[in-house]
Structure 1
Amino acid sequence: MTRRLTAIVEREREGEGYVALCPELDVASQGETVVEARDNLAEALALFFETAPPGEVDRRLRGEVYVTQIEVAVG
């Protein structure tokens, strides 16, 4: 079985690598490149599904997640 999840990848504040987050499960990982961070997140998610009890998956799994951008007036 496969499950489609969201991966948000952003550059670390120090600019030395990337952090990847799955907001549906609040699972994160990191890597030196965007691809490595995404692949490491996929590995972390697979491990989570493999080891977490079903109740933990149900407790953490959020429904729909939307990623979008907004404009906000500043100053």
Structure 2
Amino acid sequence: MNIKVTVLVQKEDNWYIAKCIENGVASQGKTIEESISNLREALELYYEDTTPENINVPTFLTTMEIRL
């Protein structure tokens, strides 16, 4: 079974942090690619013995600008 998840990647100091929006699982790496690869492995372990809930729930992700 394959599922699609929404991933947010942010740089913190010398690391890239990849986080799954749907379940909060996160991982890190020295590059964007490494952080995503590590997150993929973490998610496979997370879902190893369970079926994801709400597989078809759409996630809306956007940006916004605020005045400072």
Number of residue pairs aligned between Structure 1 and Structure 2: 67
How much does 1:66 deviate?
1.8
Residues 6-47 of structure 1, C-alpha deviations (whole Å, 9 max, x = no match): 1100001xx211100001011000000000000100100000
1-structure distance, mates of 2:35, 2:42:
10
2-structure distance, mates of 1:48, 1:16:
26
Give the gaps of 5 or more residues in structure 1.
none
Give the gaps of 5 or more residues in structure 2.
none
Alignment of 1:1-75 (within 5 A): 1-12=1-12, 15-51=13-49, 53-54=50-51, 57-58=52-53, 63-74=57-68
User: Using CA pairs below 8 Å that are at least 6 residues apart, which structure has the higher relative contact order?
Assistant: 1
Which protein has the bigger helix share?
A: 1
User: RMSD of the TM alignment (CA)?
Assistant: 1.8
